[in-house]
Structure 1
Amino acid sequence: MSETSEAARPPSALPGIFGLIDGAIARIEAFFLAAGVLLMALNVVANVVGRFAFGRSIQSAEEINRILIILITFAGLSYAARQGRHIRMSAFYDRLPQRGRKIMMIFISLVTAAIMFALSRYALQYMLTQQGRGRVLPSLQIPVWLMLIWVPVGFFMAGLQYALTALRNLTAPGVHLSTSLAEAQLPDPALNRGEPAP
């Protein structure tokens, strides 16, 4: 296998079935984020060309962008968790020794996973409520609930990612901010203290 295809394939440091789940989530995230951004760019460019070259805008451009923004936002939620990119309040965390940081990271990951799963449940209920109302988008004439399907899916995938981060911290030495980012990889010297793994 070539170096390029190896780099394109999302690695997973988790063992067995959990590694397969983690890899599958990474592929789904990458596909939807890339497709969403490309489609949004194409939609905007086509709308601008239509407006200035032909004097007519694409009637459904705004609705398409709204759908794609929801897709990118909630697919990106899980992606940001995988990359350890969510904002963290770490003043207290940074002062702990490695063992304390590891315990804290497991706790934070499990609590965040539980919150994400709860939000996924509430988002699903909201989506089903919208389905029951039968509302459609004015221009595209597609049901509004189809546009919202990414909200519970995104929360659920983020919850899975945080649960897998907790598992990574439970099964591997060192402190891991996500399944693919160890604390030791950070350039911040306050976090990368060179302490031995617990």
Structure 2
Amino acid sequence: MKKLLQKLYTYEELFIGYALVLIATVATIQVFMRYTLGIAYDWVDECSRYMCILITFVGAGVCARYGSHFCMDALLQYVPNRFKHLLKMLANLVSTLTLVVVCYYAWIQIEKLHRFGATTPSLGIPMYVPYLPLGIFTAVIAIQFFVKTVIHVNGFVQNTPYQNDQGVH
């Protein structure tokens, strides 16, 4: 199971990199064609926008896994080891619960868009499709924060030394 997850994590990170390269390449071609040939495609802007949203949510999941999100940890320097775990546990639990609420409402919105049947202006795909990353990846990020919560609960209960998880790969 651990090998499968590691492979999935690698694919996530590769997807982000290749998607950014693809957006940059297509945007460069679009600019070249617009200013040299006078041809512009509307779908490029729309597709780039939706890809950036997808990259943002996939990247947020990666950041949650590595503990790379912005956090205020000045208080952690001044509390005993055991309470560091308690504070991180509470912060991760609040993040998990917040993301569960966002995920719930995202799926309600996706279902409404699916039922309504609208399509995107240029690409002509169903409007709920660009919203799917919001529903899927808020769930993934919530799971990542919940895993961090469990790790810090164990650290608190067992009184293990606190290790900062930021930037750990």
- TM-score under structure 2 length normalisation: 0.84
Superposed CA offset, 1:24-46 (max 9, x none): 55234213312321221122111
The unaligned stretches of length 5 or more in structure 2 are none
Pick from 97, 100, 107: which aligns with 1:117?
100
Of the structure 1 ranges 49-58 and 139-148, higher mean CA displacement relative to structure 2 is found in: 49-58
Q: Report the CA distance shift for 1:180/1:164 in structure 2 as closer, same or farther (over 3 A).
A: farther
Letter in 2 for 1:164: V
Report if aligned partners of 1:81, 1:178 keep a CA contact under 8 Å in 2. no
Pick from 69, 73, 98: which aligns with 1:86?
69
Measure how far apart 1:68 and its partner are.
0.6
Which residue does 1:141 correspond to in 2? 124
Pick from 76, 80, 85: which aligns with 2:59?
76
Q: Report the CA distance shift for 1:24/1:126 in structure 2 as closer, same or farther (over 3 A).
A: farther
- TM-score under structure 1 length normalisation: 0.73
Which residue does 1:33 correspond to in 2? 16
Measure how far apart 1:146 and its partner are.
0.5
CA distance in 2, matches of 1:110, 1:20: 27
Report if aligned partners of 2:68, 2:167 keep a CA contact under 8 Å in 1. no
Pick from 46, 69, 80: which aligns with 1:97?
80
Measure how far apart 1:92 and its partner are.
2.6
Measure how far apart 1:178 and its partner are.
4.3
Measure how far apart 1:118 and its partner are.
2.0
CA RMSD of aligned residues (A): 2.4
Number of residue pairs matched by the alignment:
165
Report if aligned partners of 1:164, 1:179 keep a CA contact under 8 Å in 2. no
What are the within-5 Å matches in structure 2 for residues 1-198 of structure 1? 17=1, 19=2, 22-23=5-6, 26-171=9-154, 173-178=160-165, 181=168
Which residue does 1:9 correspond to in 2? none
Structure of higher RCO (CA pairs closer than 8 Å, 6+ residues apart): 2
Identity of aligned residues (%): 21
SS at match of 1:149: helix
